[in-house]
Amino acid sequence: MDTLSALADGFSIALTFQNLGLALIGCFLGTIIGALPGLGPSNGVAILIPLAFTLGLPATPALILLTSVYYGAMYGGRISSILLNIPGDEPALMTTLDGYPMARKGMAGEALALSGIASFVGAFFATWGLVFLAPQLVKVALLFGPAEYFALFALAFATLGGIASKNQAKAALAAGIGLGIAMIGVDGQTGVPRFTFGEVHLYDGIDFLVAIVGLFALSEVFIFLEHRGTAKATGDASDIKLGRLTPPMSMLKQTVPTMARSTVLGFIAGVLPGAGASLGSFISYSVEKRLVDKNNTFGTGDPRGVAAPEAGNNAAAGGALVPMLALGVPGSGTTAVLLAMLLALNITPGPLLFTNNPDVVWGLIAALFIGNVMLLVMNIPMVSLFVRVLLVPPRYLMPAVAMISFVGIYGISGSTFDLMVMVFFGVLGWILRKLDVPLVPIILGVLLGNQMEANMRRAMTISDGDWSALFASPLSIGLWLFAFFGFILPIIAGRFFRPKFPRTDSEADPD
Amino acid sequence: MKNFITRLAATAVAVVSLTAAAHAFDPGATECIAPANPGGGWDFTCRQVGKTLQDLKLVPGTMQVTNMAGGGGGVAYAEVINKRNDANNLIIAASSATSTRLAQGAYPGNTMDQVRWVASVGADYGIIAVAKDSAINTLPELMDMIKADPTSVSIAGGSAVGGWDHLKVLMAAKKAGIADVRTIKYVAFDGGGEAVTQLLGGSVQAFTGDASEAKGFVDSGDIKVLAVLAPERLEGDFASFPTAKEQGIDVIGANWRGFYAPGGSSDEAYDYWVNAIGTVYDSAEWKDVMAQNGLAPLNLRGADFQAFVADSVASITDISKEIGLIK
């Protein structure tokens, strides 16, 4: 087995004290960066690039440090999703759906530990996928032309219904708002600015992070202000239950099939450049909801609803390294930053990277395994530390959330305009919460809408406006069929099989 | 870490003595604005030049890199003009994309003469390529196919419509005698990498991009370079590929990289930066950086660079009018 001996060589490169130390620092910083709203994996990696330069690190240790931060941030994003209902970064968005309700039910410890384990499973098996399948998987990425990407995004939207809300119309409205926001900015296919009102700051569109932090974090602060003085807002900490700190075996057993399926789906989404981790966690969650949500427990704190997106987005993080290493094409924002780092270190990414720089590639892959184990070991004991966030009375916690939001967003672009946009989204989020409109589909609309439109327009340009090009390849026909049945089946099946009794715990977004 | 502190101290001492001798101007805490998110070309320009300036002890300590994304560089451009117009310690990364947007009025209300153009640090020449198993072997063949039936060829590139990757093809097509360049099918992707992937996957027939973007695929033999849009053949891996000029299509597409400084900065500061960037350009270290990243020589400083940018803005304005992007 060439691959295994190459991997063994990789381990011999990665297993030095310096590299292990760097991996430890990277994992720790990454977890913190991921947990802070506004700071995501791509900012985290970018912030640490100068550090790697300043320390004069050679290629392999530098990459080990940065990929540890990357994996750490993917782990960390879930923490604030679960504890505060504020996604730490885009891929952790879906984790709020069941993670936060679990925390409200006094199961914060279990949710954190379970999501840690799901993250580990996703990332661990995705890294094996990277080891054995990278060259083959590149061919899958090549199968996806604009028409196929369009079908893939259509599939994502078709399975959107019912997620995050019991009221389908409100979910659709929210997705529509998201799509509308996605249209802001210069249209790449014609070069014409849309809905920018001559404001140069809007030419690049709305940054997802600004929208997420505004909608989730700031609106939470506004809700708190509204309720100030009441018992809920001043927060009597004594009646908050933290729950146990390890998930019971039965819960793990229940979530194993979920993790397995989500890992595969997330990994595939990661491999496709232009899809990425957010799509990975989204598809994992929605497929899992379709498959196993027999009693309508998803969205109310179902452990499987926590395991699915976490396994999915961490598997996608591993998957995104496939096109980066094997093609030199970034599959996500973070891998784009890593790619720039490789260039700066005199390594040309591309199809020959595995042949020309095996020490870098295999050292990196070995480091991923090490970082992964390290993150699991570090995260499980830290659960008890994280859950204490819930003990902080909201009157201290909320100002801190507001401060971190402002600092984080200012740090991305260094412009005060983004802060105003964030406040706008905060107010919008507050109003929508009052109206009981779910926020998650808005972000999905923004995240997926742009890509969906761009790919449709590309397909149309290539085919000279012939719509049949969208259904021309077997792959796209297959995706359309999935989309069709994903949309139709729940409507039919729901009518016949859905339990008739109303749920007792159908408490909506607990405002 | 100790090593780093010693180096920092040494740098500070060296810089104080050096600048005292060479220039009367002390830049203080220097800053480079990368008008984009981390990871892109402008970010790279700031960080690499900043690192070299530091290694050559041309600036005191480290140069701070500030990412100011938005409006394809327009946010940073407006910020510099409106708020930091007299900053002497500041340079901003720029490239062909900057001059393209200035030419097309994509920075509303701003023009190229509101800042001082410092120097270039190299250029990334354009290439036009096809997949390795394509029947097309030369640039004129590709152009003839487009002439015969414009719908038969889709060309993928990493910039938006009207962006630099698009304009390069249009300029070549015009020189090749295609009367209505608007008929050319250009498909915009998010970056050169995605565009090359689509070429390999067979969704499009040709690729337009920069030499550095395509290097990995050229090395592996996955794509066939039809023409390099440089005045003469490039060195190294690209030496075997003919220029467009050799094939009778006289077009040059240089994606230059360089810097501008605030319009109100003092003459001493401007001269200091022209000198410092020039020293970086001449250094052996920078030669290595250029070789590693597929940057070809383009050495323009001070007034020469100012004239070069003015020229390229004028020619891009012409072609953009012709294809109806601007009125």
Q: Specify the 3-state DSSP secondary structure of A91.
A: helix
What is the pLDDT averaged over residues A194-210?
Answer: 82
Output the pLDDT for position A308: 92
Output the pLDDT for position B130: 95
Cα A110 to Cα A37, A56, B301: the distances in Å are: 22, 41, 62
Output the pLDDT for position B114: 93
Most confident residue range from A95-99, A427-431, A485-489: A427-431
Output the pLDDT for position A392: 81
- State whether CATH 3.40.190.10 applies to domain B125-247: yes
pTM beyond 0.90: the answer is no
Searching chain B, which residue's CA lies closest to the CA of residue A43? Answer: B38
What is the pairing mode between strands A192-194 and A185-187? antiparallel
| Percentage with pLDDT > 70 across chain A | 88
Q: Which residues contact A266 (CB under 8 A, 6 or more apart)?
A: A122, A126, A277, A280, A281, A283, A284, A311, A312, A313, A314, A315, A316, A319
Q: How confident is the model at residue A230 (pLDDT cuts 50, 70, 90)?
A: low
**pLDDT beyond 90 at A275:** no
Q: Which of A12, A130, A139, A2 is nearest to A71 (CA)?
A: A130
Does residue A469 contact residue A147 with C-beta atoms inside 8 Å?
yes
Does residue A369 contact residue A15 with C-beta atoms inside 8 Å?
no
Does residue A211 contact residue A184 with C-beta atoms inside 8 Å?
no
The Cα–Cα gap between B129 and B147 comes to 18
The Cα–Cα gap between A408 and A414 comes to 10
Q: How confident is the model at residue A504 (pLDDT cuts 50, 70, 90)?
A: very low
Compute the residue count for chain B: 327
Does residue B123 contact residue B198 with C-beta atoms inside 8 Å?
no
End-to-end CA distance of chain B: 57
Output the pLDDT for position B228: 93
Compute the residue count for chain A: 511
A163 vs A182, residue with greater confidence: A182
**Alpha carbon of B13: minimum distance to chain A alpha carbons (Å):** 18
A433, β-bridge pairs: none
A285-294 pLDDT tens trace? 888 887 887 7
The CATH code for residues B2-123+255-322 is: 3.40.190.150
A386-403 pLDDT tens trace? 888 777 888 888 888 888
Q: Which of B123, B140, B132, B143 is nearest to B253 (CA)?
A: B123
Output the pLDDT for position A161: 62
Q: Specify the 3-state DSSP secondary structure of B227.
A: strand
- Could A337 and B38 be called an inter-chain contact, meaning their C-beta atoms sit closer than 8 Å? yes
Which of A238-247, A272-281, B53-62, B258-267 shows the lowest mean pLDDT across its residues?
A238-247
What is the pLDDT averaged over residues A254-273?
Answer: 88
Tokens of B160: 């938006």
Question: Least CB-CB distance to B187: which of A141, A348, A461?
Answer: A461
Searching chain B, which residue's CA lies closest to the CA of residue A273? Answer: B194
Interface test with A, best of B187, B207, B285 (most A CBs within 10 A): B187
Does residue A143 contact residue A476 with C-beta atoms inside 8 Å?
no
Most confident residue range from A9-18, A412-421, B294-303: B294-303
Q: Where in chain B is the domain with CATH 3.40.190.150?
A: 2-123+255-322
A301-349 pLDDT tens trace? 889 999 999 999 899 888 888 888 877 777 677 787 787 777 767 677 7
| Average model confidence (pLDDT) across chain A | 81
Rg from Cα positions in chain B: 21
- Phi and psi at residue B204, to the nearest 5°: -125, 165
Q: Specify the 3-state DSSP secondary structure of A177.
A: helix
Output the pLDDT for position A237: 46
B188 vs A238, residue with greater confidence: B188
Does residue B91 contact residue B305 with C-beta atoms inside 8 Å?
no
Buried b (16+ CB within 10 A) or exposed e, A346-359: ebbbbbbbbebbee
Q: Where in chain B is the domain with CATH 3.40.190.10?
A: 125-247
Give B 132-151 residues with CB within 8 A of chain A.
151
Does residue A27 contact residue A375 with C-beta atoms inside 8 Å?
yes
Spell out, as residue ranges, where chain B has pLDDT lower than 50.
1-2, 13-23
Output the pLDDT for position A438: 85
Residue linked to tokens 């480079």? B32
Q: Which residues contact B284 (CB under 8 A, 6 or more apart)?
A: none
- Could A188 and B161 be called an inter-chain contact, meaning their C-beta atoms sit closer than 8 Å? yes
Does residue A359 contact residue A11 with C-beta atoms inside 8 Å?
no
Output the pLDDT for position B213: 80
Give B 171-230 residues with CB within 8 A of chain A.
185-191, 193-194, 196-198, 200-204, 215-217, 219-220, 222
**Alpha carbon of B68: minimum distance to chain A alpha carbons (Å):** 5
Does residue B269 contact residue B24 with C-beta atoms inside 8 Å?
no
Q: How confident is the model at residue A162 (pLDDT cuts 50, 70, 90)?
A: low
Rg from Cα positions in chain A: 22
Interface test with A, best of B4, B6, B48, B161 (most A CBs within 10 A): B161
- Could B44 and A344 be called an inter-chain contact, meaning their C-beta atoms sit closer than 8 Å? yes
B12-38 pLDDT tens trace? 544 444 444 444 577 788 999 988 876
- Phi and psi at residue B162, to the nearest 5°: 90, -10
Output the pLDDT for position A421: 92
Which DSSP string corresponds to A382-450?
A: HHHHHGGGGGS-HHHHHHHHHHHHHHHHHHHH--HHHHHHHHHHHHHHHHHHHTT--SHHHHHHHHHHH
